[in-house]
């Protein structure tokens, strides 16, 4: 069980979990579709974000406060998952933008 020292660490952990769930969904989209045109992928991407309402809400918060009031190990854990989400979006773009 993780222990949090500040409320910002709690929000950071929630945001991390939401990104993990989004990465999982993006991987599903990539695995379930051999091909998608730009409009189909944009629609799938929009729906994947629509499913992550908490992700969108927490993303609108002030991240500077979360970073300033969180321990380094919590920030590193979060940034690793955030990086995975960027990589997975890139993987989808690479796959679905083939000519």
14-47 pLDDT tens trace: 999 999 999 999 999 999 999 999 999 999 999 9
- Residue 38 falls inside a structural domain: yes
Q: What integer pLDDT is reported at residue 66 of this predicted model?
A: 86
- Residue 2 falls inside a structural domain: no
d(CA 12, CA 71): 10
Q: What integer pLDDT is reported at residue 1 of this predicted model?
A: 63
Q: What integer pLDDT is reported at residue 3 of this predicted model?
A: 87
Q: What integer pLDDT is reported at residue 54 of this predicted model?
A: 93
- Residue 15 falls inside a structural domain: yes
| Number of domains, the chain | 1
Average pLDDT score, the chain:
92
* Higher local confidence (pLDDT), 3 or 16: 16
- Residue 45 falls inside a structural domain: yes
Nearest to 8 by CA among 67, 57, 53: 67
Q: What integer pLDDT is reported at residue 86 of this predicted model?
A: 96
CB-CB contact of 18 with 58 (8 Å)? yes
**Mind listing the pLDDT tens digit for each residue in 53-77?**
999 998 888 788 888 999 999 999 9
- Residue 1 falls inside a structural domain: no
Q: Which domain holds residue 64?
A: 7-96
């Amino acid at each position: 069980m993780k222990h949090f020292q500040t409320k910002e660490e709690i929000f950071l952990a929630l945001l991390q979990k939401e990104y993990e769930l989004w990465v999982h969904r993006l991987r599903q989209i990539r695995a379930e579709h051999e091909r998608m045109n730009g409009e189909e992928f944009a629609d799938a991407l929009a729906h994947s974000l629509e499913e992550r309402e908490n992700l969108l809400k927490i993303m609108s918060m002030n991240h500077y406060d979360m970073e300033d009031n969180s321990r380094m190990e919590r920030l590193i854990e979060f940034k690793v998952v955030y990086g995975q989400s960027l990589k997975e979006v890139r993987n989808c773009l690479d796959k679905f933008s083939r000519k």
